Structure 1
């Protein structure tokens, strides 16, 4: 393992979860410390896992990564679910607003409710 790149190490860790017959793979910031090539490896693997029917939960601050591989995005605001949206129906900006303000236009937590959080 010590001679593998960061992306290769992430791939091995994900493969272990798959070998345990997992139905869902939870990935918390899997590309945070990776270069461009290694990030590509991990995102390609995430896509392949989803295509094979596994549930993949990707936690990431990198909206480009999220939009590339996600079907749906769950947006949390101060620890509460602000919205679950289809990736194809929102913009990066709307997702950032949901995360930072709890709402974006008609999406998210009601204004009165968001003000009391």
Structure 2
């Protein structure tokens, strides 16, 4: 791939990410409004039940990769995953890892060692 092709690819990735981040911000506002309405006693729609809770908001890493903290079967997980867009929705893909909270703490403990190895290899 030429440097021009790479620049074009990076540019389109960047534009796509901007669209997705704008969509996430819109969904976040919508979710907050629905949660506030539910707290005020308004009936919740079926789609509101499928919306992410504030604790499940996505944190963008770039190039369609996101970090999400979620609860599953009363256990907390840190999910680092590629996402894809389908029918205007951002959905998690198969490529990624879901770390239980304990493994996340272990991961954080070795960050400096990983950084050092990266420096040595570059």
TM-score w.r.t. the length of structure 1 is: 0.28
Whose strand fraction is larger, Structure 1's or Structure 2's?
2
Higher CA-based Rg: 2
Structure scoring higher RCO (CA < 8 A, sep ≥ 6) equals 1
